Structure formats: structure tokens, C-alpha cells
């Protein structure tokens, strides 16, 4: 079980417990609660037996940026590909990504903003994407 407190910072936030087979046992509000659950899980008589148990901090954002097609075509709205903390991929519009900016990792959001700024400067944004971009700019976010 990966519970060595010297290697894992005891920070606040949520902690996810998984096992070697990929079974996700959910998140816990503290490291100590996740550790107690993991020990109980390891001690329980289960079939099949639980292998290696891993406890990791849940990242503070909900979505990791994977890619986009911003600026590739004026004819269709851009699509942004994101991955949630469980590994599921989802697509978001520019409007949604700009509205939920705090839920996307910082580097990914910076990439989205940079792509929008460049595509806007060369006139290669779909009208709905350009509208979302213009609504963000007066707010002083860029």
C-alpha cells in the first residue's frame, strides 16, 4: 500500500484510493480518512484479493486540457478536448471552456487563450467562438 507519509505531502484537499486492477474506490476529504479506508480494504476478506492499493491527491482542477481545433476553420465552432480526473474524455465548446476556466488546468487554459487570441487576430474564429472570446476580453481576463 502506498501510504508512506514521507513521500506523500500531508496537504489539505481530496485523496483518491485505487487498487492495482484499476478499481476506483472514490475520493476522501483527508489523507487520514483515505489511509484508514485503504487499511480496512487491505484487511478485509475479499475475493478476488485486493492487490496494491494506491492513495494519491486529487488535482485541484477537474479537467486536464488535451487539445483543440481553435483557429482551424471559420465555418465550424472549435472543439476543446478535456480529460476529467477519472480519465474520461469530453468535448467542450469555446463558450463552455471560457465560462468554466477555473476547472481546467492552468497550462491548458493558457493554451486556449493564446490560440483564441491568435485566431482572432487573423480573423479565423467561428462567430460563436469570436463572441465568447469578446465577452471574456472586457472582463480583463486577457
The residue extents of the domains of the chain are 15-57, 63-139
pLDDT, one tens digit per residue, over 87-100 is 889 999 999 999 88
Question: How confident is residue 137, by pLDDT bands cut at 50, 70 and 90?
Answer: confident
Phi-psi region of 123 (alpha: psi -120 to 50; beta: other; left: phi over 0): left
Q: Compute CA distances 112 → 76, 79, 94, 129, 133, whole Å.
A: 17, 11, 8, 12, 10
Cross-strand bridge partners of residue 4: none
The answer to whether the predicted template modeling score (pTM) of the entire model surpasses 0.85 is no
* Cβ-contact 64, 105 below 8 angstroms: yes
- Taking the mean position of all CA atoms in its chain, how far away is CA 61? 5
pLDDT, one tens digit per residue, over 101-132 is 888 988 999 999 999 999 999 999 999 999 99
* Cβ-contact 76, 126 below 8 angstroms: yes
More confidently predicted of 1 and 123: 123
Amino acid at each position: 500500500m502506498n501510504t508512506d507519509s514521507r513521500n506523500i505531502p500531508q496537504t489539505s484537499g481530496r485523496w483518491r484510493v485505487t487498487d492495482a486492477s484499476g478499481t476506483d474506490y472514490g475520493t476522501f476529504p483527508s489523507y487520514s480518512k483515505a489511509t484508514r479506508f485503504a487499511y480496512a480494504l487491505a484487511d478485509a476478506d475479499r475475493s478476488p484479493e485486493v492487490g496494491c492499493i494506491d492513495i494519491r491527491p486529487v488535482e485541484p482542477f477537474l479537467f486536464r486540457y488535451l487539445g483543440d481545433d481553435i483557429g482551424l476553420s471559420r465555418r465550424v465552432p472549435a472543439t476543446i478536448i478535456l480529460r476529467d480526473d477519472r480519465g474520461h474524455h469530453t468535448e467542450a465548446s469555446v463558450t463552455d471552456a471560457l465560462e468554466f476556466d477555473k476547472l481546467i488546468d492552468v497550462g491548458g487554459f493558457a493554451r486556449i487563450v493564446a490560440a483564441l487570441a491568435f485566431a482572432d487576430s487573423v480573423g479565423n474564429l467561428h462567430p460563436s467562438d469570436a463572441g465568447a472570446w469578446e465577452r471574456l476580453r472586457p472582463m480583463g481576463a486577457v
